[in-house]
Amino acid sequence: MAKKKPLILVSNDDGITSPGIKTLVEVMCELGEVVVVAPDSPQSGMGHAITVGNTLRLDPSTIFEGIDAYECSGTPADCVKLAKHHVLKDRTPDLVVSGINHGSNSSISVLYSGTMSAAIEAAIEGLPAIGFSLCDYSHQADFSHTAEFVKKIALQVLEHGLPPDIALNVNIPAKSDEKIKGIKICRQAHAKWQEVFDQRKDPYGRRYFWMAGNFVNEDKGEDTDEWALTNNYISVVPCAFDLTAHHALPVLNQWAL
């Protein structure tokens, strides 16, 4: 009797027409039955936003030939919720993958990332999940070197599963003449963005602001995602959605409350 193919849900935040999700779908089709539920337009930087008090639209898409695919008007988290409770309401995915994102989602960027929010929403639903990102923001980003690593990591999760309430944050260095050295299991670097708001005027003379800034990494550890990426390794960080600062509980319990 033939072994049943795993059911794999694919989503992202760059939108259903992005090159990154095309690569991810192609790789997942080698591993199992694929269903796609992705935003109908770019949703980068949406974090874990969900649509409340507004309509959500979900329409079939023919962008991936021979694959059950849907485009959603909502956020990445909305996409996973609709997939779990509507599109696949009678079935449980064996794996949820998000991406491949155009640009890094390492370090603090995980909090802002729509890509990772889709994966974390899946983890909230009790599903093994991975968010994949390529450290290349270019519209012409080359994803050709990512496939073997995406497949390798996905196969490990399908075979071994993940600890409860965990999603993997995988970042892949941009393609270069240097061969990727390997895969590192890492912690999230202690780093942040230092924003600068450029004040400008529109053609009508009205003031607006354009956010820019620089990424500052003060973490000198060699076990971080930033170190791995700088040294041409793929970083894999297990992420949890429990944001409790457990180390602070004893301190706060000493307050006179």
Known binding residues for a divalent metal cation are: 13-14, 44, 101
Q: Please name every residue paired with 135 in a beta bridge, in sequence order, or none if there are none.
A: 173
Number of other CB atoms surrounding residue 183 within 10 Å:
17
The burial of 29, by beta-carbon neighbours within 10 Å (0-12 exposed, 13-18 middle, 19 or more buried), is given as: middle
Place of tokens 């354009």: 210
- Given its phi and psi angles, is residue 147 left (phi above 0), alpha (psi -120 to 50 degrees) or beta? alpha
Contact 110, 118 (CB under 8 A): no
- In order of 2, 180, 194, 241, 251, the CA distances from 235 in angstroms are 35, 11, 23, 19, 33
Q: Where are the alpha helices (DSSP H) in 107-194?
A: 114-124, 147-160
C-alpha to C-alpha distance for 205 and 30, rounded to whole angstroms = 54
Q: What token pair was written down for 34?
A: 């694929």
How many angstroms separate the first and last alpha carbons of the chain? 64
* Separation of alpha carbons 83 and 11, rounded Å: 9
Annotated binding site: 13-14, 44, 101
